[in-house]
Structure 1
Amino acid sequence: MAYRNGVYAAFDGQGTTNPTQSDIKYYNLLKSWASGENFSYIDSHQKTRSVRDSSQAETLKRVLRERLSNSKVMLLILSEDSNYDRGFLNYEIEQALDTYKLPLIVAYTNIPPAIEQQWSTLEKRWPRALSERLNNYNSDKTLSVLHIPFAKQDIISALSSMTIHNKVYLGKKLVLK
């Protein structure tokens, strides 16, 4: 059995490898926060060999599954540009929730305070796999999801309280400050 101590960060690459034109900038910001003090972060992506966008789809999926199997939580970063059905993001969400039963922390970028409690605004960012699971959620399922702003302190707090070893079953509850 894998030692599940990593954080699996997922985001929409917007179909580009240019870091200034995709949500990878938020992943890079997360890694820079983790290099500072008071931020315990083990990156699941660093625990396996790297793959290129030009790799075969099955090779990419195999490496993604390996990373997920070594993870204690999935941190899903969603921006205004996140797409409903592009790339491997839906596959990652499906595997994380259905196969590996990971708790999910959904971190929303650039949320103005006035829309914090408006689901309709946040739902527009949800990829298909997340939308299907949250909109079809019922209380007998073990869906563990926490919704937060993409902010350093909120992420630190969420990562310390939501893991495969310590799940909180929140469903569609929005936890924004």
Structure 2
Amino acid sequence: MANRTGTYFAFDGLGETDPTKSDFRYYATVQGWNAAEHIDFKFVNSHEKAGAVRDTSKLSTLQASIRQRLDGSKNMVVIISGDTRKSGSLLSWEIEMAVDNYKLPLIVAYTGYNSILNPAALSGQWPTSLENRINSGAAQAIHIPFKKDAMFDAVRRFTVNGEEIGGSLKYYSREAQVGWGYIS
């Protein structure tokens, strides 16, 4: 196993070559948080630890690169939007690999929500591979709104060598979310 210091970000590319028309835009937001000097949000990006692969690369080449990135990752952020597909995207395979082969804790970040207090109510948005692993208990997952403070805290805490999540449907307490200003 590689030095597991990275955070792997997974999202549905929605079959688009234009990143502004896919969930890549949320990943770009996280990259912006990481790059901004005035924001205390820093992480090791697993996507920068392996060679770049274009979307036009052969599937086998892309999957080999993803395996290398997952092998060096301490956790995985799964970005879920209203457009995320149930199946048919590389995201499903990435989730399967992360949970089944690399035992990565999942940070499931939902776009368009101010707070998450009942992750089971969002199950209709989960890709089937995520749903199966949550329902079977195979996935260790914390569910958060796609917001900087929650993401920073989860990325820092829940790692292969860090704090255990302790279940598939975990979320931050109401008090924590009030503290971040997500709930008034």
Common topology (TM > 0.5): yes
Query: Where does residue 118 of structure 2 map in the other structure?
Result: 117
Q: Of 134, 151, 158, which residue of structure 2 is paired with 1:155?
A: 151
- What CA RMSD, in Å, does the superposition of the two structures yield over aligned residues? 1.6
Pairing partner for 2:165 from 147, 164, 168? 168
Change (3 A) 1:62 1:124: same
Aligned position for 1:52? 54
Give a deviation string over 1:103-145, Cα, whole Å, max 9, x none. Answer: 11000010155x743633x1121111101111222xxx5x321
* Contact 1:14/1:86 (8 A) holds in 2: no
Question: 2:114 touches 2:145 (CA, 8 Å); kept in 1?
Answer: no
AA at the equivalent of 1:4: R
What amino acid sits opposite 2:170 in the alignment?
K
Seen in structure 2, the aligned counterparts of structure 1 residues 43 and 128 have a Cα distance that, compared at 3 Å, is same
Amino acid aligned to 1:165:
N
Partner of 2:180: none
1-structure distance, mates of 2:79, 2:161: 22
TM-score, structure 1 as length reference: 0.90
Pairing partner for 2:98 from 85, 96, 99? 96
Q: Which residue among 51, 60, 63 is the counterpart of 1:61?
A: 63
Report the equivalent of 2:136.
136
Instruction: Give the TM-score normalised by structure 2.
Output: 0.87
- Structure 2 unaligned spans of 5+: 178-184
Q: Per-residue CA shift, 1:39-93, capped at 9, x if unaligned?
A: 1211100111111122111111110000000000000000011000022111100
Kindly indicate whether the alpha-carbon contact (under 8 Å) linking 1:147 and 1:174 is maintained by their aligned counterparts in 2: yes
How many corresponding residue pairs? Answer: 171
| Correspondent of 1:82 among 81, 84, 87 | 84
**CA–CA separation in structure 1 for the residues paired with 2:126 and 2:172:** 16
Query: Are 2:72 and 1:70 aligned?
Result: yes
Give the distance between the partners of 2:20 and 2:42, measured in 1 at CA. 26
Quote the Cα distance in structure 2 between the aligned partners of 1:21 and 1:35: 22
Asked if residue 12 in structure 1 is aligned to residue 12 in structure 2, the reply is yes
Shift >2 Å, 4+ stretches: 115-120, 173-177
Determine what percentage of the aligned residue pairs are the same residue: 40
